[in-house]
Amino acid sequence: MNRYEGRRALVTGGGSGIGQATVHRLLAEGGRVVAADVNETGLKATYASAEANGTADRLTVLALDISDEEAVRSGVASALEVLGGLDVLVNAAGILRSEHTHKTSLELFNKIIAVNLTGTFLMIREAIPALLAGVEPVVVNFSSTSASFAHPYMSAYAASKGGIQSMTHALASEYSKQGLRVVAVAPGSISSEMTSGTGPGLPADADMSLFAKLAPALGQGFASPDTVAGVVAMLGSRDGAFITGTEIRIDGGTHF
């Protein structure tokens, strides 16, 4: 499929996990992509993989901290200069930290909100003018199953993702008459650096029985990031043309 031939995309979180998988999926379908991430080592790995796949000529990597307003302004401007405009914005960047809520510091709570929610807002705000001038423009935000279902020790993360989900609905309404679609994906039970032991960092005394309801009904355990990347690619293409103002849960039936 070449659904992205001629399409210009900016993907945050492009240095690892689902964001990285999305970058490679859009490249594989013919798109021109700017992959942004705060992790420069991860971006080098993304570019190296693109070279191995023969798609690096359509990839630009951009070091970017999405929680920094000035960095987002200059980063989006750089991406637009490289791409010559923008048709698809994928906000995959995010962090997951876990802790007992009564032990969660304000510093940690604010950090999670700053990256996940505020960072997503900043990227959208700076990209909207270019998107409105783009071709069949789409914003794909990353919510999470934690926005709608109980995930213990993740109240701050859940708050950030719930905010993204609500913001997605508001933006879709605000810009629908101008042709901009805004949708969200809500992954769950996906294997990535974020969900590994180094990602959520569950408290040492976490009650694992609370996670009994968080096992996927389909397959053998967690799915790969490619599972989500395929859905993102659909949403950002003409195949998703009648989808806006909603979220699509991708969790293998974890939450029936």
Residue 214 is given by DSSP the state: -
Q: How far apart are CA 54 and CA 226, in angstroms?
A: 18
Integer Cα distance of 207 and 188 in angstroms? 19
Q: What residues are paired with 186 via a beta bridge?
A: 249
Catalytic residues: 157
Q: 């876990």: which residue's tokens?
A: 98
Q: Distance from CA of residue 106 to its chain's centroid?
A: 24
For tokens 């950002």, the residue is 236
